[in-house]
């Protein structure tokens, strides 16, 4: 584990604007919105980056309590790297203390996978972040499944969750937020064994 005093930057990937708010591609925003609610913070415009941020602390009192910056890049998904890197540098966050929460086509709806480093798997947000600051950051992959029939991937990720999916969405976003708290308090291996399905 790194120094417990170093801050963590928790980034939800998504697109800004009300028309995208409920899209599958914006599940990262949904998770950081819930985390902000949990720590009693309100998003405000970042000083040095095109992003909205909440600063606070997460975890129980004592050695597991972590300083966190929750962030939503306001640059559109495929340009996420610039704001994420600017926030990392401004807050002096080690790259392995950056966590990107994003939608993932290649795993079933609602399945979570936590990992450190790796490829972008064709995800434009991850591609931009990795190009900007390297690949050695944590990812929380939130499964959205593959598009049905012949629907294009771009159309699928920019559609809202279906009514069937929405029945479970609150629970799944809650679970993803729990996985972030577990990662920060107990480390990657513990979080993987508890939340990877």
**H or E element, residue 163:** helix 163-186
Please pick, among 25, 97, 102, 123, the residue that the annotation labels catalytic: 25
DSSP strand pairing (51-58 vs 66-73) = antiparallel
**Per-residue pLDDT tens for 71-84?**
999 999 999 999 99
Query: Are the C-beta atoms of 161 and 172 separated by less than 8 Å?
Result: no
**Per-residue pLDDT tens for 130-178?**
999 999 999 999 999 999 999 999 999 999 999 999 999 999 999 999 9
Query: Are the C-beta atoms of 189 and 105 separated by less than 8 Å?
Result: no
Buried b (16+ CB within 10 A) or exposed e, 83-115: bbbbbbeebebeeebbbbbbbbbebebbbbbbe
**H or E element, residue 182:** helix 163-186
**H or E element, residue 195:** helix 188-195
Question: Known catalytic residue: 25?
Answer: yes
Bigger pLDDT: 55 vs 4: 55
pLDDT computed for residue 3 by the predictor: 61
């Amino acid at each position: 584990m790194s120094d417990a005093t170093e801050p963590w930057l928790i980034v939800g990937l998504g697109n800004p604007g009300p028309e995208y708010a409920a899209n599958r591609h914006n599940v990262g925003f949904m998770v950081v919105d819930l985390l902000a609610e949990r720590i009693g913070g309100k998003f405000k415009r970042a000083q040095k980056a095109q992003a909205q941020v909440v600063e606070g602390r997460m975890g129980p009192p004592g050695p597991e309590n972590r300083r966190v910056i929750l962030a939503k890049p306001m640059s559109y998904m495929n340009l996420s790297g610039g704001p994420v890197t600017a926030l990392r540098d401004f807050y002096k966050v080690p790259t392995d203390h950056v966590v990107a929460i994003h939608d993932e086509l290649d795993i079933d709806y609602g399945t979570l996978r936590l990992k450190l480093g790796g490829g972008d798997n064709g995800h434009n947000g991850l591609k931009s972040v990795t190009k900007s600051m390297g690949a050695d950051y944590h990812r929380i992959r939130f499964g959205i499944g593959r598009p049905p029939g012949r629907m294009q991937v771009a159309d699928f990720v920019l559609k809202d969750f279906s009514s069937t999916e929405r029945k479970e969405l609150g629970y799944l976003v809650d679970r993803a937020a729990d996985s972030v708290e577990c990662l920060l308090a107990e480390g990657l291996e513990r979080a993987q064994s508890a939340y990877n399905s």
